[in-house]
Structure 1
Amino acid sequence: MKFLKNIVDAFGRRFTFSDDQQTDGAKVAFLHQQQSSHPSIGLTPAKAAALLKDAENGELIAQCELAEDMEEKDTHLQSELGKRRRAVQSLPWKIVPPVNPTDDEQYDVDMLTEILTDATWFNDCLFDATDAIFKGFSCQEIEWEDVEGLILPRAIEFREAAWFQTHPQNRNELRLRDGSHEGQALQPFGWVRHVAKSRSGYLARTGLVRNIVWCYIFKHYSIRDLAEFLEIYGMPVRIGKYPSGSTEKEKNQLLRAIMSIGHNAGGIFPRGMDLELKSVIDGSSDPFMAFVNYWDLNMSKVILGGTLTSQADGATSTNALGNVHERMAGNICESDALQLAPTITRDLVQPIMAFNGRSFNSLRRMPRFVFDLSTPEDLTAYSTALPLLAGIGMKIPVQWAHDKLQIPVADENDTVLTPPAQPAAPAFLSAQVPAGFAALAAGASSPQNAVKAMPGAISGVEWQQAIDPILKPILEALETGGMMAAKEKAAALYSDLDDEQLTDMLHRAMFVAETWGRLNASGG
């Protein structure tokens, strides 16, 4: 079946797409039968330098096969790479529409989200794409199918990195090996091609394998030396002595007895022959293990940016250092995600959108795949701070609060949580205090409302009657005689001052404020 729909890819190329996979073609079908040469066997620094040089010239086979061997044979390397790769795979993601999306663009975003969420191959696709962290690049071939009028990926199959080469005139262009000098260009919309940059430079030099290969070589030299040390010095030397004139048969019996003692802890030999066990020669494996640990730590630094997320020596490892290294690992994970998201947009989101979208007419209005790298804020802190900030007049967008707290906005048909009902004021409060104060206690549901309600709890007439006898004579003296006359008047009036009414008002206000606080302490 041929899809006769002309499409423009991310590079502006128009083509008629076929549902046949490129690797099924006659020129590259031999790649399916290719077997690894396992270049790690007998690996030396000189051999490693030669195959790295070949990779710079476009021959990626040996470098990629060496990377596979190293990951298989070195448990520490596989563990550290697995941590970094799975960290990206576990991140939440979403499809983001273009700015000010139309109804059709929003519909396409929802469609793309549903397709990728339901796809059984998508999580594996994300994981396989992170193989580029170690090798520098990762290629997966897309197999398309027609499902009820929609053109969707049936499967996405990982292809070995050794199947590819770079173009002789463009060292950043990956091409399939087909036996020719230039190789075969990758079919548009047929591949998920991810390049992970651990450093700046052209494609063959961006993978971590070029750093870690030296750690691998020297570490395994030390492991081999340790094995020889244990074989030679790990067991006591057994020496058999036979008397002169012993026959060959008797000598062989003695030899077999000596050899069996090491494994069976016993043996027999003719009378008159002696067996002597020499003590183990003094020696230590510590220098070998120190060298092995040194290179393991260097691998961890290269892959994760630190060592305390994988190893702790019990001496220099502290909680503070562990937190620093944990943040560094988080930064590396974010960097990996920021590099991978555009790849998924270009090689998956755009083709599905081009085949099936309602609004597809320009690459400038293309939805984007993004990883959600934000962390939820402290709900307790925000639930306290936001009401206070809104109460003093700050205009806080509701959408901003939802994004910060990672709480989705409810649809019209969703059942939403409601705040608990405020407790009613006791009946005795309204009966025993003035109406303004009772209203303050019963109606103020927050500290902000209480502050606003406080002035209304005291009427202007009552306040004026309490203050006028105290202030009026002093103000009159200030107008006629100045500051000194006002001071003398205040001193003369102090002994005859009647402040009972003012004191009574303040006592009632304090009573109401304390009562309100007790009633609303649990709600605030």
Structure 2
Amino acid sequence: MAKVKSRAKAVNPLFREVAVSGDGRDITRDFGGLMNALLPQDSVLRDRGGDYTLYEDVLRDDQVASTFQQRRMAVTSAEWGVRPGGPDRESRMAADFLLGALNRIGWDNVTDKMLYGIFYGFAVAECLWGRDGRFVTLEALRVRKQRRFTFDPLGRPMLVTPGEPNGLALPGRKFWHFHAGADNDDDPYGLGLAHWLYWPVFFKRNGLKLWLIFMDKFGMPTAMGSYPANATDEEKRRLLAALRAIQTDSGIIVPEGMKVELIESSRGGQVSYESFIDRMNAAIAKVTLSQTLTTDAGGGQYRADVHKHVRNEVVKADADLISDSFNRSVGAWLTAWNFPTAHPPKVWRRVSEDQDQRPIAERDRMLFGMGLRPSAAYIRATYGEGWTFPEDREAD
């Protein structure tokens, strides 16, 4: 008789989190005896012994400022709007309410400041709530400095104050924050562009210092003075003063019996400082924009189009990150307070390459004539937001 295989015993799902970072068992973290605050895992910040002022200095570089501005402006210049979370009247009212709030506070300006979270690794904005009759209103979103915050073991932001250097617990539904760039969910500080930009900027600045020394050394001859063996200390000082005057004066005098001549510096080969600086600038552009041809000339039209497409993908990811984090927090809070039965609305930005839509429209018109009807999702994906549909009107 054949044996009947026994079934494996069913294992019930475990609903609690196990591999947490705040219980002191995370081997990747040095808590330093402080269990109420997580420390950043950024190796540059840790090894250089600084805080986020280290990265604020990186922003002073001309190439960093230019390329990061290009990345931010590509987001803030894109069209945006608010889409209802559902076709019902309450959901559309919630969308209109949120759209009015964002227009009032200046959504593009808020977005531009929150995009610095891509640079530092995280961003925090404080919601200033107000009251208008029965509605809770959003009066402003104040984006705060990154170095004013730490995070607790649950990833919640805490405010650093003189009296609470490890962070003060903050009220719920008051601060909007997100993190970006990290390869795991254990670090709420994220890992921003500044981590990757620090060394190219550091090497570039030191290269510029050496280049200035080179230009001073090889661009202007060195003055040499000769004095007789029986020259006094006073005569030597007068000769040295005359040599120094060569740098600024058109004429000098020297004691009799002393000689002044100019030594021209000479070297063979080509100077490579300029190519080194160009290489660092290219590295900065590649880190910030994931390509270089939208900031530097050359490469041909095909490569330029490819690089522009890559940059657009990066910009779209930035726009989606801002919109999604806002929708999950501030947008959801306002809806829950003011329109509890509504589906939360969605803030969106359209970041896409311009294309001729006439061939697509002609094709869709032919298909419509054949009896086919496009879905609302297709219309939005193909022609963008801002359209209303029969089912929306029927819901009224």
One-letter amino acid of the counterpart of residue 348, structure 1: V
Kept in 2, the 8 Å contact 1:377–1:405? The answer is no
Question: Tell me, what secondary structure is at the counterpart of 1:62?
Answer: coil
Kept in 1, the 8 Å contact 2:217–2:265? The answer is no
Q: Determine the structure 1 residue equivalent to 2:45.
A: 51
1:104 aligns with 2:90: yes
Kept in 1, the 8 Å contact 2:84–2:91? The answer is yes
Question: Tell me, what secondary structure is at the counterpart of 1:117?
Answer: helix
Q: Determine the structure 2 residue equivalent to 1:360.
A: 340
> How far is the alpha carbon of 1:333 from its aligned partner?
0.8
> How far is the alpha carbon of 1:394 from its aligned partner?
4.5
Kept in 1, the 8 Å contact 2:180–2:190? The answer is no
| Residue 66 (structure 1) aligned to one of 48, 54, 57 | 54
Kept in 2, the 8 Å contact 1:198–1:208? The answer is no
| Residue 175 (structure 1) aligned to one of 137, 140, 158 | 158
Quickly say closer, same or farther: Cα 1:275–1:376, change in 2 above 3 A. closer
Quickly say closer, same or farther: Cα 1:268–1:163, change in 2 above 3 A. same
Q: Determine the structure 1 residue equivalent to 2:123.
A: 138
> How far is the alpha carbon of 1:250 from its aligned partner?
4.1
Q: Determine the structure 2 residue equivalent to 1:210.
A: 195
| Residue 197 (structure 1) aligned to one of 164, 175, 181 | 181
> How far is the alpha carbon of 1:87 from its aligned partner?
1.8
Quickly say closer, same or farther: Cα 1:338–1:401, change in 2 above 3 A. closer
Identity of aligned residues (%): 23
> How far is the alpha carbon of 1:156 from its aligned partner?
2.3
1:93 aligns with 2:80: yes
How many Å separate the matches in 1 of 2:355 and 2:217?
60
| Residue 322 (structure 1) aligned to one of 294, 297, 304 | 304
Kept in 2, the 8 Å contact 1:257–1:266? The answer is no
Quickly say closer, same or farther: Cα 1:318–1:257, change in 2 above 3 A. same
Kept in 2, the 8 Å contact 1:163–1:176? The answer is yes
Q: Determine the structure 1 residue equivalent to 2:350.
A: 372
Map 1:9-408 to 2 at 5 A. Answer: 51-52=45-46, 62-72=50-60, 74-99=61-86, 101-120=87-106, 122-147=107-132, 150-167=135-152, 169-170=153-154, 172-178=155-161, 183-197=167-181, 199-201=183-185, 202-243=187-228, 245-282=230-267, 286-312=271-297, 314=298, 317-355=299-337, 357=338, 359-361=339-341, 365-373=343-351, 377-382=355-360, 384-391=362-369, 393-397=370-374, 404-406=382-384
> How far is the alpha carbon of 1:410 from its aligned partner?
8.7
Higher relative contact order (CA 8 A, sep 6+): 2
Residues 129-150 of structure 1: CA deviation (Å, up to 9, x unaligned)? 1111111101122222334654
Question: Tell me, what secondary structure is at the counterpart of 2:272?
Answer: helix
TM-score under structure 2 length normalisation: 0.76
Aligned residues: 345
Quickly say closer, same or farther: Cα 1:269–1:181, change in 2 above 3 A. closer
> How far is the alpha carbon of 1:301 from its aligned partner?
1.6
RMSD: 3.1
Quickly say closer, same or farther: Cα 1:181–1:268, change in 2 above 3 A. closer
How many Å separate the matches in 1 of 2:118 and 2:251?
54
How many Å separate the matches in 2 of 1:354 and 1:375?
36
Question: Tell me, what secondary structure is at the counterpart of 2:262?
Answer: strand
How many Å separate the matches in 1 of 2:238 and 2:313?
67
How many Å separate the matches in 1 of 2:256 and 2:165?
76
> How far is the alpha carbon of 1:71 from its aligned partner?
0.9
How many Å separate the matches in 2 of 1:123 and 1:82?
14
One-letter amino acid of the counterpart of residue 51, structure 1: L
**Higher helix content, 1 or 2:** 1
Residues 167-201 of structure 1: CA deviation (Å, up to 9, x unaligned)? 2x44x443222555863233222212122236445
Kept in 1, the 8 Å contact 2:312–2:351? The answer is no
How many Å separate the matches in 2 of 1:332 and 1:407?
21
Question: Tell me, what secondary structure is at the counterpart of 2:224?
Answer: strand
How many Å separate the matches in 2 of 1:398 and 1:347?
29
For structure 2, the 5+ residue unaligned runs are 1-41, 390-396
Question: Tell me, what secondary structure is at the counterpart of 2:82?
Answer: strand
One-letter amino acid of the counterpart of residue 171, structure 2: Q
Question: Tell me, what secondary structure is at the counterpart of 2:172?
Answer: coil
One-letter amino acid of the counterpart of residue 71, structure 2: R
